[in-house]
Amino acid sequence: MDDTDDFGVPLNIMGRHPEDFFSILGRIVALAATLENKILVFYQYLVGRRQDRYTELAVGQLIAKALEQLHRLPPADGELAKEWLLEAKEITEKRNDYVHNMWPAQGDGRLFGWRVPRKRNAQAAITTEGTLEEMRDDLGRLIALLRVNRLNRILGLVSGGQHLDG
């Protein structure tokens, strides 16, 4: 029996996961980075700032700041942007679980991730359980947020700067 996976990772580190796990995980990571960039761009346009501003903020901070500034948009546009931002908040929080958890393989095939909490005095580890199908659903949620027609509509709400006049 080989004691490494197909990429040379020793099995005593994570066990043996199906390749779909890593394929989906990689896509979640890559698409979440793209989404984070689009949220940054949305916020920069929303508040009328240059492309080199707010780049130090975490995505959660950008979303919170953008939600606070949606009053700059007409009400219907603000609602559309709010829906997109809240969906983005939910999936980027889920992305954090995927990225920061350790994922020891489980004998029954379910996914189990855990990590030590970063907050001082936390009582327990942060855990995530699920299935590959749920992971695929999360990937689908990211794809939906980045679909060109939807993304262009969202960025179009702010890119012209018309909301900054007056």
User: Closest Cα to residue 24, out of 77, 85, 103, 87?
Assistant: 103
Does residue 138 sit within a domain?
A: yes
Does residue 129 sit within a domain?
A: yes
Does residue 3 sit within a domain?
A: no
Does residue 145 sit within a domain?
A: yes
Does residue 97 sit within a domain?
A: yes
Does residue 116 sit within a domain?
A: yes
Give residue 166's pLDDT band: very low, low, confident or very high (50, 70, 90): low
Does residue 58 sit within a domain?
A: yes
Whole-angstrom Cα distance, residue 77 to residue 124?
41
CA angle 141, 163, 81 (to 5 degrees): 15
pLDDT digits (tens, 9 = 90+) for 60-83: 999 999 999 999 999 999 999 999
Mean pLDDT (whole number) for 43-68? 95
Two structure tokens written together for 81: 């942007």
Whole-angstrom Cα distance, residue 97 to residue 99?
6
Phi-psi region of 88 (alpha: psi -120 to 50; beta: other; left: phi over 0): alpha
By mean pLDDT, which of 4-8, 43-47, 56-60, 120-124 is the weakest? 120-124
Domain tally for the chain?
1
* Residues above pLDDT 70, as percent of the chain: 98
Q: Are 147 and 58 in contact (CB under 8 A)?
A: no
Does residue 10 sit within a domain?
A: no
Domain span including residue 134: 18-159
Residue 2 has pLDDT above 80, yes or no: no
Give residue 1's pLDDT band: very low, low, confident or very high (50, 70, 90): low
pLDDT digits (tens, 9 = 90+) for 93-126: 999 999 999 999 998 989 999 999 887 777 788 8
